[in-house]
Structure 1
Amino acid sequence: MINLASGRRLPRRLVQLFLGLALYGVSIAALVLADLGLMPWDVLHQGLAGLVDWSLGTVIIVVGVLVLLAWIPLRERPGLGTVSNVVVVGLVADAVLAAVDPPSSLAVRIALAAGGILVNAVATAAYVGVRLGAGPRDGLMTGLVRRTGRSVGLVRTSIEVAVVVSGWLLGGTVGVVTVVYALAIGPLVQPLLPRLTVLPGGPPDPPEPTAS
């Protein structure tokens, strides 16, 4: 069930949610353009895109839908952020990739990869911080943790190793940035998340003025 909390903070949360998801799509495109390695799930997305001759964004959306279906036996509950994640990230990634040509300079590619990782950290903290629903892939992880009783670290590592290996076998790009992202994203998100967390509560709305 998808629930929206009411209150004064809802507009701020919605703006932050969609801005965060858009930035996430931008970060994916930045790493694709840099061509120095992709985020684990995007290795799989790129490999599948080459296999079926679809755009990367289309594959991101389709895989997101399939992962969301896997929530059903895990009894995970989607939120607005979950459904929005499925659609927005892929659309933005495709739009950026269609508008920007890959750079030829190695220095520019390195800068693009570094910027992509930083933007991804901000984007992750932004959409997680509004607490309007986990992304499909994050929900898969938490659902498996709850159902199997295994640790978050073990389940997440197992999933990401599986998608990286599968994507690499299909032709997805694995490189130094794949490793750097895996090591850096947690420490980068950790200090950002408290600053970007917006709880649904807050002070009550002021009373409506009365006519004199």
Structure 2
Amino acid sequence: MHPFVRRIAQLYVGLVLFGFSTALMVRSRLGLAGWDVLHQGLADRTGLSIGHVVIAVGALVLLAWIPLRQRPGWGTVSNVVVVGFAADAALAALPSPGAVVPRSALLAAGILLNGIATGLYVGAGLGPGPRDGLMTGFAARTGGSLRRVRIVIEAAVLLAGWLLGGSVGVGTVAYAVAIGPLAQAFITRFAVRVPAEAARSGQAAESPERTDPCPAF
């Protein structure tokens, strides 16, 4: 398979699986990742589906890239749209179990699948997610460390989502602990090596080695 075709295919498989992993965590009702707490809270307040909120928030975050002088890639724009639609489609198909054991299984599957999906779409090297670009942009403009900027932004997002009624629980903590190592392992596994000639000709939009290993999509 041609490397660019593989990168495109890997990108979209990863984004669809990312949306599916979000739906798994929503159906577990045991707590969500920080940004998804905000998405769920906004969805509850507005009556929109969580997928539509994911798209709307992603578009607004992408607009914030302009003053930060961040440059989106094809994968960045695709991320804004595909993850939200995939999440809504998965939520329409998934059951909502009542017992704790199947809910816990959904949570574990969601976190693991999220790590795999992250490895696929980041490893494709076609641009970071809009929320990641926001963090790296703020870090570059303020001179702060990426870790500190990430903590501040995600804490603010989590607090806002919780105040809006988003789901915070054991899943929130489990995701925060597990996603970094999972994402790093799968990014290493799925990173597409772009030939030097392609990189020189400008076909490499974003090298996986320079992408934040713990994306928030």
Structure 1 length-normalised TM: 0.91
Q: Which whole-Å deviations, capped at 9, do the CAs of 1:81-125 have from their partners, x for residues lacking one? A: 000000000000000111222111210000110010000000011
Q: Is the 8 Å Cα contact of residues 119 and 185 (structure 2) preserved in structure 1?
A: no
Q: Is the 8 Å Cα contact of residues 9 and 202 (structure 1) preserved in structure 2?
A: no
- Match of residue 90, structure 2, among 89, 96, 121: 96
- Match of residue 168, structure 1, among 162, 167, 176: 162
Which residue in 1 is equivalent to 2:179? 185
CA shift for structure 1 position 199: 2.4
Q: Is the partner of 2:76 in helix, strand or coil?
A: helix
Which residue in 1 is equivalent to 2:48? 54
Q: Is the 8 Å Cα contact of residues 79 and 129 (structure 2) preserved in structure 1?
A: yes
- Match of residue 72, structure 2, among 71, 78, 82: 78
CA shift for structure 1 position 201: 1.6
Which residue in 1 is equivalent to 2:25? 31
Letter in 2 for 1:198: V
- Do the aligned partners of residues 154 and 203 (structure 1) sit closer, same or farther apart at CA in structure 2, a change above 3 Å counting? closer
- Match of residue 122, structure 1, among 101, 116, 129: 116
Runs of 4+ in 1 over 6 A off after TM superposition: none
Gaps spanning 5+ residues in structure 1: where? 1-6, 205-212
CA shift for structure 1 position 188: 1.2
Structure 2 length-normalised TM: 0.89
Gaps spanning 5+ residues in structure 2: where? 199-217
CA shift for structure 1 position 202: 6.9
Kindly report the root-mean-square deviation, in angstroms, between the aligned alpha carbons of the 2 structures.
Answer: 1.4
Check if 1:133 corresponds to 2:119. Answer: no
Q: Is the partner of 1:19 in helix, strand or coil?
A: helix
Q: C-alpha distance in 1, partners of 2:117/2:178?
A: 14
Residues paired across the two proteins, number: 198
Check if 1:109 corresponds to 2:122. Answer: no
Which structure: larger Rg? 1
Letter in 2 for 1:162: A
- Match of residue 15, structure 2, among 21, 24, 28: 21
Check if 1:64 corresponds to 2:72. Answer: no
CA shift for structure 1 position 8: 2.7
Which residue in 2 is equivalent to 1:207? none
- Do the aligned partners of residues 203 and 142 (structure 1) sit closer, same or farther apart at CA in structure 2, a change above 3 Å counting? closer
